[in-house]
Every structure is written in structure tokens, then in C-alpha cells.
A = this chain, B = another copy of it.
């Protein structure tokens, strides 16, 4: 087994012997391999061994950075969807939210990502370590990105001052997760557009 070692994560210059790569590079390779494996094969085939093989890294290396398979899966998932789920800021909140949510829906329904994250969330309900990893490595950071975009909109006078962006996260992305996790009508791009329209304008006759 070829096993490229990586420099220790302590301060100081990295040793660059034969077969040694900078830690950041190994880390990026592992994340890329984890994300690709998840989206190719789903959680059923996701093992530390398979990620190590795909990344050309050792299991020891992976365990040094990720305490569990679930933590690695969630980091890999975040890494894989990050660019598709960026938050645009054109100065038009409704257009930006609609575009981002439609991309989110495409990721959930047009790739295996929807089943992968549904399984991870599902397993987290009875696995406290996975629940903590889900919060720290996925849902927390994603929520923070969304809240940041909406706070800017509030500062720019696009949202009422008394509206809590945290609640909007649940009424937009949370609504999509609801249809993903509890069987219901399909998750479509039109659904995403309605979510934003309902909230921005209100539904009262």
C-alpha cells in the first residue's frame, strides 16, 4: 500500500520528503474524494477506507483530522455542494434568494445529494456524535451563510427591521428539507420560487 505521509500540523516548515505532500493539499484531496464518493455512490458505500484509497491518503491521516466517518462525510458533502450553493448578492434579495434556492433544489433533486443529506440527517436523530458533526460541519455553517446574506439585506432596507433572519432560514431552506424528509409534494424549482414570493410579499388576501 502506498501511503503518502503528510507533515505534522504543528507550526514550522513542513518536511518535504519523497511522497510527502503539504497538509493542505492532502486535506483538500481527502475532502474532494469524500464528496465525490458520496455523490457517486451514496452513504451505503461511504467508508474511510474507500475515501483513503480514492484520495491516495492513509486512514491514519484521515482519522487525525476527522473523528468519525460521519464527520468526514459532512465535510465532504459541504465541500462538494459549496460552489453550487453560494449566496449571490446583486442587491436584490428576492432575486438572489430565488436563484440560490432554485440551485439548492437542483442539487437536492438532480444529484444523489438529496438522498445523501437525508440519510445523514436521518442517522443523526439517533447518533449524538453525528448530530454534533451535522451541526458543526454542515447545518451551522450553511445557516450562518444564509443569515449573513439576509442581515445585509436588512441593513440595506430590503427587509423589515423586526424580521429575524434565523426564522426565514427555516421558512425557505427548512421548507425544502421538510419535503425532502417527510414525504409530500415534490421539491421543484417552482416550489422554491413560491417559497420566496410568499415570504417577501405575504399571503394575506
Give the B-binding residues of A (Cβ under 8 A): 94, 118-119, 121-126, 131, 134-135, 139-140, 143, 154, 157-161, 163-164, 166-171, 173-179, 181-185, 191, 194-195, 198-205
Contact = CB atoms under 8 A, between A and B. Distances in A.
Contacts of A168: 198, 203
27 contacts: A118-B125, A121-B122, A121-B181, A122-B122, A122-B124, A123-B125, A131-B183, A139-B182, A139-B184, A140-B183, A143-B184, A158-B204, A159-B204, A160-B204, A163-B198, A163-B203, A167-B198, A170-B175, A171-B171, A171-B199, A174-B178, A174-B179, A175-B175, A175-B178, A177-B178, A181-B181, A202-B202
Contacts of A154: 205
Determine the main DSSP class of A at the interface with B.
helix
A102 to B, nearest CB: 15
Given A139-B182, A169-B184, A174-B175, 20 more contacts: A119-B125, A119-B126, A121-B182, A122-B122, A122-B123, A122-B125, A131-B183, A139-B183, A140-B183, A159-B203, A166-B184, A170-B179, A171-B195, A173-B178, A174-B178, A177-B178, A178-B178, A199-B199, A200-B202, A201-B204
